[in-house]
Chain A
Amino acid sequence: MKRSVFKNRGLPYLLVLPQLAVTLVFFFWPAFESLRLSFFRTSAFGDRVVFVGLENFRKLLVSGDYYQSVVNSFIFAFGVTALGVGAGLFVAALATQNVRGLTAYRTAVLWPYGIAPPIAGIIFLFIFHPSYGVLPYWLSFVTAYEFNWLLKGWVAMALVVIATAWTHVGYNIAFFLAGLLAVPTSVLEAASVDGAGALRRFRLIVFPLLAPITFYLVVVNLFFSFFSSFGMIHAVTQGGPGGATEIMVFKVYKDGFIGLNLGSSAAQSVILMLVVIGLTALQFRFVEKRITY
């Protein structure tokens, strides 16, 4: 397609300048700096820098702590994604049924998206609180098990997973609603005339049409919980108890900013960038697929 364009010479450069400046200074420079630092060992005061090659990476690969943070990240990310996407689909499917008051229902389930994950974390921290929280109190009628996130690693993990999924469920619902409303009603009506029940219609017609959106949401939820959940962990569990909720982004911060082990932190950043590139490639394949529809 041939487009009409303006002829000015210098103007386009001036127009892209602010965006490029921010991008180069705050994205590319730090990214290359991380890559460079990952090959060096820096003393705690930053006065001595020694080239160590791949040593930082080798140390990470044999470190039990790092291995645990990788496992934690996967448990966390897959937990948030399964819970958030599953609940989102369920609620969105309900909110597109033919009943009154749908607008009110939709509003009532979307808003948690506005709540900052750390604040959501604090609220759930109290709901789970071993001595004052309402959840351990209710559970104590069912089981004598002590749901104490300060002592039990898996309770702490459940706490941050549920709180994170809660902040993200509105987002998932919004996308599933958009997808479900795009399903042609004539097809559904035809199936219904043919005697297909609601569940059968959902499984055979709606779900295949929703598959691209579901895939997109899975990638985005994984992305979100892998990379944007620092605040949740920092505000709620600080990685504890005993490292049970220490996920990779939290460890980058802890080793770099608190432990001042810049080389290791940079090497961890580089590994995270590789994960991001992988997830982005997945997402692009999805975008391409959408375009060919």
Chain B
Amino acid sequence: MPAVLETRRRPLDWHALVVHALLLACVALIAFPLYYAFVISTQTVEQVIARPPVLRPAGHAVQNYLEAWTRAKMGRLLWNSAVVAVVSALGKIVISVLSAFAIVYFNFRGRTACFWLILVTLMLPVEVRIMSTYEVIGNLGWLDSYAGLTVPLMASATATFLFRQFYLTIPHEMVEAAQLDGAGPMRFLWSFLVPLSWANIAALFVVLFIYGWNQYLWPLMITNTEAMRVVVIGLQDLIPRTGTHIPEWNIMMAAAMMALLPPVAVILFMQRWFVKGLVESEK
């Protein structure tokens, strides 16, 4: 393959053509599962099971989506997922901002210990302590409640770490200026730090929203009633397992499309913030 600098002056840019072709192939490969799911969600059962497979959208979208909506009680499921995603993301951001603020702007006994206590939680994903966390929630009487669904997701070492790093970059003359003006710590936090970190907060919110929306193990364990289930779990009932069931994959895929749309839409609308949040929240 010739180097970029030589090819740029030629009338036919082979390098660019090859790159475009490969990129399009990658996009097609990555997008195919979603396209396929969408196509199935618009077909009748006969079209779904037809051989050769029909890979064009058909005209049954409206019926399938309505059927999926009522059968899976999608309204309730989506509402619950939205509550979990928004509340856990906001909760995480609030408690992380507060604790990072305390750790950076105050000298208090046990400050280092607090920081390490929080940081160590990086090492304990919910999956590895699942049974005993379940017991704790049971003892608190929080099974089948929004509190049980959201509060345990709120401790976030990464968010605290991120805000701490950000506050450390803010010149400390600002604190002195605020103190000279007679502003108390809460005033300083609210009028200076929070406005300065809106970009970080927005970026983090996108990532945390997706994290909350896509939670599975935790809601699966601590909710028993249909009314409290989140959408990622509720979809299970629609999977046509082998046996006597009619293979209603069209209904399944219609429900899947509705369940995956909110987080994907958040990514597409807030792409700039999303990438920023992703790269920053993990470092």
Which A residues have a C-beta under 8 Å from some C-beta of B?
Answer: 3-6, 8-9, 11-13, 15-16, 18-20, 22-31, 33-34, 37, 90-91, 94-95, 97-101, 105, 107-120, 122-127, 129, 131-132, 134, 137, 150, 166, 169, 171, 174-175, 177-178, 189, 192-193, 195-199, 216, 220, 227-228, 230-231, 234-235, 249, 252-253, 256-257, 262, 265-266, 269, 272-273, 276-277, 280, 287, 290
Contact = CB atoms under 8 A, between A and B. Distances in A.
B33 interface: yes
Nearest to B185: A6
B23 to A, nearest CB: 5
A123 B34 contact: yes
Nearest to B6: A192
A127 B36 contact: yes
Interface string B95-132: 11011011111111001001001101111110111111
Nearest to A277: B123
Number of chain B interface residues as a range? 35 or more
Given A124-B33, A137-B53, A234 B216 contact: yes
Nearest to A286: B283
Contacts, number: 299
Contact of B19 (A97, A113, A178, A269): A97
Contact of B275 (A110, A126, A227): A110
Contacts of A91: 23, 26, 30
Interface stretch (B63-71, B190-198, B264-272): B264-272
A193 B5 contact: yes
Contacts of A262: 131
B123 A273 contact: yes
Chain B CB within 10 A, most for which of A169, A178, A262: A178
Contacts of A97: 4, 15-16, 19
B124 A276 contact: yes
A196 B3 contact: yes
A217 B115 CA distance: 25
A137 B23 CA distance: 26
B127 A30 contact: no
Contacts of A101: 20
A198 B4 contact: yes
Contact of B216 (A118, A125, A227): A118
Contact of A110 (B20, B23, B104, B267): B267
A94 to B, nearest CB: 5
A183 to B, nearest CB: 14
